[in-house]
Amino acid sequence: MPVELPQSVAETRALLARGDYVAGEALSTSVFLALRLKRPLFLEGEAGVGKTELAKVLAGVLERPLIRLQCYEGLDISASVYEWNYARQLLHIRAAEAAGESKDASAIERDIYSEAYLVKRPLLQALEAASSSSEKGEGEGAEAAAPVLLIDELDRADEPFEAFLLELLADYQVTIPELGTIRAEVPPITLITSNRTREVHDAVRRRCFYHWVDYPSAERERRIVALKVPEAPAELTRQIVAFVQSIRTMDLYKNPGIAETINWAQALTSLDVVALDPETVDSTLGTLLKYQDDIARIEGSEAARLLSKVQAEAEAAGRTYGEGA
């Protein structure tokens, strides 16, 4: 049975925690309001901070399907909403001609522009899945069965594609000229993500609730790493997070996100590392940083300096704790 939607911000935060997603108060509030008021949630932030993961976790903990539209340059309505199966339509016409059927052109047109010849893409799939869920139940149970629709990295798509989304985001419907308007009886839970490689148009933003997903604090990042890489020693986790937090202050070409922190922790744990040292940092930087210019800037003396800073801060914190005790 699908899980009912949360009834408060606290329940929303607890629900996400069940999926090992550590959400702050502001994000939990945004998710709760989007669920309660049935509005799309527009998540913007740097790559790797957990925007896409949020949609995956929501689908998992609410036990509903995840329908994902991955955006890219050149994405259009035929790849995102629907297109006609032209090959099957042509075969139908030729078969009718070969059989000597006496149908007029309008009858054949009605046949080939029926739902049987429609190729449904993610946006249309989400609307129809939401509609079919409402037919299977009533009230809150029906809402709980509606899918999660993820429109991922909208900023990668061309600006004209955003116009296709306006009808969907405003009314949860799409119009197919040959068939008419298809509307979801129960709106899908809709999340849109952007890495802000370009600005998304105001018309899209106005139809959504908005939340900026920032890099996590050190305390929150330690919790995330502990959840995702529980086999990592506690001291190694602390050093990893402190090192990554220091790197993010250096104005690199691409700062590491939470995903990269987790990847690095997994790599170090696989190598049976229990504490960072300059040689290990240099040899594993490729799991944390993804551009050679950034790696060249960090490795060697800079990595050793950052690691010394991390160790000094840990020692200072330990002395402070000892004096307080």
Q: Which residue has the higher pLDDT, 324 or 52?
A: 52
User: 196, 212, 228: which is the final residue of a domain?
Assistant: 212
pLDDT in the model for residue 152: 98
Q: Rounded mean pLDDT of the chain?
A: 90
Residues 157 and 60 in one domain: yes
Q: What 3-state class would DSSP assign to 125?
A: helix
pLDDT in the model for residue 107: 83
Residues 134 and 255 in one domain: no
Amino acid letter, residue 283:
S
> Does residue 197 lie in a domain region?
yes
**CATH number of the domain to which 35 belongs:** 3.40.50.300
Q: Residue holding tokens 């790696």?
A: 295
Residues 111 and 130 in one domain: no
Read off the pLDDT of residues 36-49 as tens digits, 9 standing for 90 and up.
999 999 999 999 99
pLDDT in the model for residue 321: 44
Read off the pLDDT of residues 188-201 as tens digits, 9 standing for 90 and up.
999 999 999 999 99
Question: Which pLDDT band, with edges at 50, 70 and 90, does 95 fall under?
Answer: confident
Q: Residue holding tokens 């993500």?
A: 193
> Does residue 2 lie in a domain region?
no
Q: Give the DSSP letter of residue 44.
A: E
pTM of this structure: 0.88
At residue 67, φ and ψ (nearest 5 deg) are -110, 120
> How far is 234 from 238, CA to CA, in rounded Å?
6
Residues 145 and 277 in one domain: no
Read off the pLDDT of residues 285-311 as tens digits, 9 standing for 90 and up.
999 999 999 999 999 999 999 999 998
Residues 127 and 195 in one domain: yes
Residues 205 and 65 in one domain: yes
Residues 260 and 179 in one domain: no
Residues 56 and 106 in one domain: no
Domain count, the chain: 3
Residues 157 and 232 in one domain: no
Lowest mean pLDDT among 1-5, 73-77, 102-106, 216-220: 102-106
> Does residue 4 lie in a domain region?
no
Residues 176 and 290 in one domain: no
Q: Which residue has the higher pLDDT, 184 or 2?
A: 184
Domain that holds residue 62: 9-75+123-212
pLDDT in the model for residue 322: 47
> How far is 36 from 24, CA to CA, in rounded Å?
18
